A and B are shown apart, each in its own frame.
Chain A
Amino acid sequence: SQKIEQNSEALNIQEGKTATLTCNYTNYSPAYLQWYRQDPGRGPVFLLLIRENEKEKRKERLKVTFDTTLKQSLFHITASQPADSATYLCALRNAGNMLTFGGGTRLMVKP
């Protein structure tokens, strides 16, 4: 069956360090992979998209990698700040154009 797995345990890091979140998938051939941020009581907000033929994408302090052989995407936040604390969701867009989300990983950045 198709699965999108993100670490359900919260990731706690110190301010200024790099946060790395993982998204693994099975039985998908995604055309796209997206990352969203969700704050408590709010809807998810789009951050980055990476396509199947791209290895890496950057946006300010954010970096996303996509390894279709390992079936994995890594999401990095460099120089993390307490304001980066949120839940981060990965989502796969397959050939059927349907976007399916992982369970999200909660990031806590301590000052």
Chain B
Amino acid sequence: DTAVSQTPKYLVTQMGNDKSIKCEQNLGHDTMYWYKQDSKKFLKIMFSYNNKELIINETVPNRFSPKSPDKAHLNLHINSLELGDSAVYFCASSRTSGGTANTGELFFGEGSRLTVL
């Protein structure tokens, strides 16, 4: 049973196209995230949603629009793709309740490698 699953795993597309990456978690977590990992392996947070509400929106272009239909899903839609959008996008989830007993660990999906040509 996959805890955090994202699709597709690979995505190759042309500049200017619009694409979506889907993410689902079956852990019952209340917070979900999108991270971008570039070619230098830096993991940068893009968005954080808690109970379907946007909590964190880092300096991400408006072309990126997250959508959370329910607590278990956080999808990422990207408009007008650019070469610089090529990266691996990771979805993650965590539980924010539980007080000091909560380690706050993130559970990551396997990543979606986006290549823009």
Known: A87-B41, A104-B41. A99 touches B106 (CB 8 A): yes
Whether A89 lies near B104 (C-beta < 8 A) is no
Residue ranges of A at the interface with B (Cβ–Cβ < 8 Å): 32, 34, 36, 41-46, 49, 87, 89, 93, 97-101, 103-104
Is B103 an interface position by the 8 A CB rule? yes
User: In angstroms, how far is the closest chain A Cβ from the Cβ of B66?
Assistant: 16
Chain A binding surface, main DSSP class: strand
Chain B residues near A41 (CB-CB < 8 A): 110-111
Total contacting residues, chain B, CB less than 8 A:
22
B105: chain A residues within 8 A (beta carbon): 34, 46, 49
30 contacts between A and B (CB under 8 A): A32-B104, A34-B104, A34-B105, A36-B106, A41-B111, A43-B4, A43-B90, A43-B92, A43-B109, A43-B110, A43-B111, A44-B90, A44-B108, A45-B108, A46-B106, A46-B107, A49-B103, A49-B104, A89-B43, A93-B104, A98-B45, A98-B48, A98-B56, A99-B104, A100-B45, A101-B35, A101-B42, A103-B40, A103-B41, A104-B41
- Which residue of B has the minimal Cβ distance to A105? B41
A87–B37 CA distance with the chains assembled, in angstroms:
13
A87 to B110, CA, bound (A): 15
**A46 and B103 in contact, given A97-B96, A100-B45 (Cβ under 8 angstroms):** yes
